[in-house]
Amino acid sequence: VPVPAGAATVALGSLAPAVRRLTAAVADGVPAVVLASGDPGLFGIVRRLRAAGLPLRVVPAVSSVAAAFARAGMPWDGAAVVTAHGRDPRPALNACRALPLVAVLTAPGAGVAELGAGLIGWSRRLLVAEHLGTDAERVREVTPERAATETWSDPHVLLSIAIPADAGRADAVAAGCVELSDAGPAGRGSSGGMRSDNQPAAAPYGGWALPEARYAHRDSMITKSEVRALVVARLRPRLGRLVWDVGAGSGSVGVECALLGAAVLAVEQDARAGETIRANAAAHAVDVRLVVGRAPAALAGLPEPDAVFVGGGGPEVLAAVVAREPGRVVLTLAALDRVAPAVGLLRAAGYTVEGSQLSAARLADLPGGSIRLAATNPVVVLTGERP
């Protein structure tokens, strides 16, 4: 970019000194221009300059995200855009685990290799756009496994795309990597069974604590809606967080956490129940990763959770969960003799513990038009929170 003769040039580098120079220039009536790549209003410098109170006229270029989708030949009006630059990359990673179409602005140490490693086990294909707009531009599609082992050039943008449950990987993708042509990956949907607008489905459609009839389940092995309401509230699921549902049963708790935007990993030892979990996730158009295995052994090697629901298993399962130090642990207990040991274990691990005993009675019809109250089994809900 040509610079007028006599104009002072300041490298942005550390922003604080540059912002002070800009503020002083504006105060003195000196024209000032900030040159930034792409669209500076998208995770760019506009936010910092506005925070400094500087008057702005923004002339954007094509953002790297828009360019990446354009190179891939894909629409992106339903995409979530997140950043892993200069912050904990786990929220960006969990967004990729939860949502069908995500663009990630990467950074050294939080790039394709690291994000790909974190997406192993999730049904995703990754499009990586390197050096966009330069002679070294390259756009490739890879599996998470391949992404984790490659060396990638900075700068690059990552597109995470869900693979539909009823579709296999294309042969080239199964091999690990394919160079994209100008036509892009035509003919393959990006959202699978999930909503294509990337909004958590519960936001406009009714929240959590759905009736048990909305879920497939065997022998009433499902967390009742009244209990589920409190459990999900205590877990505090949202976009950017990872929730474990241990002893998932029907998967109703995990499904509702996913409806509220969280990435969810369900652990269940019964393979038949695992199929029920898959069916319930598909019916509610959310992505729940299933691990079939017996806890606590099945928990080894799983990605670090932000919150965990323990719906089944003994003290050894709870001990394995708290050893991973999630921010919140929620468990349900029907037997009172298990409450005190669970509270003691949580407190010994540094958690603040609160609990409630829930006993609901539902309206039930009687012959002749009368109504009675039918009691449900009482359940104790314990919540442990790390300070």
List pLDDT tens digits, range 12-60.
777 888 888 889 988 999 888 998 888 888 888 898 899 989 899 999 8
Show which of 61, 82, 105 is a domain's final residue.
61
In a domain, 361, yes or no: yes
CA distance 309 to 321: 9
3 state SS of 40: coil
Of 9, 43, 61, which residue constitutes the final position of a domain? Answer: 61
Question: Could you tell me the pTM of the whole model?
Answer: 0.82
* Residue 238 neighbours by CB distance under 10 Å: 17
Structure tokens that stand for 284 in this block? 């509610």
Residue with tokens 């999930």: 194
Same domain, 304 and 338: yes
* Least confident span in 168-172, 252-256, 317-321, 361-365: 168-172
Cα dihedral sign for 131, 134, 136, 139? positive
Task: Report which secondary-structure segment, H or E, holds 22.
Answer: helix 15-27
Does 183 score more than 70 pLDDT? no
Considering the domain boundaries, does residue 193 fall inside one?
A: no
Question: Do 129 and 207 sit in the same domain of this protein?
Answer: no
Q: Are residues 260 and 359 in the same domain?
A: yes
Query: Mind listing the pLDDT tens digit for each residue in 61-111?
Result: 899 999 999 999 999 988 999 999 888 999 999 999 999 999 999 999 899
pLDDT of residue 5 exceeding 90: no
191 has pLDDT over 90: no
Does 196 reside within a domain? Answer: no
Which residues touch 200 (CB under 8 Å, ≥6 apart)? 239, 258, 259, 260, 261
**Could you tell me the CATH number of the domain that includes residue 306?**
3.40.50.150
Q: Is the pLDDT of residue 248 over 70?
A: yes
CATH number at residue 123: 3.30.950.10
Pair (149, 116) in one structural domain? yes
156-162 and 138-142: which strand pairing?
unpaired
pLDDT confidence of residue 37? 80
Question: Same domain, yes or no, for 136 and 3?
Answer: no
Domains: count for the chain: 3
Closest CA to 147 of 169, 173, 184, 166: 173
Q: Which of 112, 144, 179 is the last residue of a domain?
A: 179
Alpha-carbon distance values, 237 to 59, 234, 253, 259, 276 (Å): 38, 9, 11, 9, 22
Would residue 348 count as lying in a domain? Answer: yes
The whole-number pLDDT of residue 205 equals: 57
- Determine the pLDDT at residue 206: 59
How many other CB atoms sit within 10 Å of the CB of residue 278?
16
Is residue 144 a contact partner of residue 126, using CB atoms and an 8 Å limit?
A: yes
Say if residue 226's pLDDT is above 90.
Answer: yes
- Selected residue with higher pLDDT from 200 and 85: 85
Let me know whether 94 and 166 are in one domain: yes
Statement: residue 176 has pLDDT above 70: no
Domain boundaries, position 74: 64-179
**In the predicted model, is pLDDT for residue 179 greater than 70?**
no
Measured distance CA(64)–CA(17) in Å, rounded = 26
Closest alpha carbon to 329 in 344, 309, 313: 309
Mention every residue, 6+ apart, whose C-beta is less than 8 A from residue 344. none
Same domain assignment for residues 86 and 2: no
Mean predicted confidence (pLDDT) in 183-189:
32
Residue 86, classed as helix, strand or coil, is coil
Mean pLDDT of the residues in the chain: 87
Per-residue pLDDT at 197 exceeds 50: no
pLDDT tens across 135-169, in order?
999 999 999 999 999 999 999 999 999 998 755 43
Are 153 and 127 in a shared domain? yes
- Using the structure block, give the residue that is written with the tokens 């394709």: 112
Rounded-to-integer distance, Cα 88 and Cα 48, Å? 19
Residue 191: inside a domain, yes or no? no
Eight-class DSSP state of 107: B
Say what the pLDDT of residue 61 is: 86
Instruction: Flag whether 189 is in a domain.
Output: no
Residue 8 CB neighbour total at 10 angstroms: 9
Same domain membership, residue 288 and residue 171? no
Same domain (yes/no): 50, 83:
no
What local confidence, expressed as pLDDT, does residue 231 receive?
A: 97
Pair 63, 42: CB distance under 8 Å: yes
Claim to verify: residue 2 and residue 35 sit in the same structural domain: yes
Mean pLDDT calculated for residue range 242-258: 96
pLDDT attached to residue 150: 93
- pLDDT tens for 296-333 read 999 999 999 999 999 988 899 999 999 999 999 999 99
More confident residue, 358 or 169: 358
Q: Is residue 353 part of a domain?
A: yes
11 shares its domain with 29 = yes
Q: Which amino acid is at 164?
A: P
pLDDT of 189 higher than 60: no
In a domain, 56, yes or no: yes
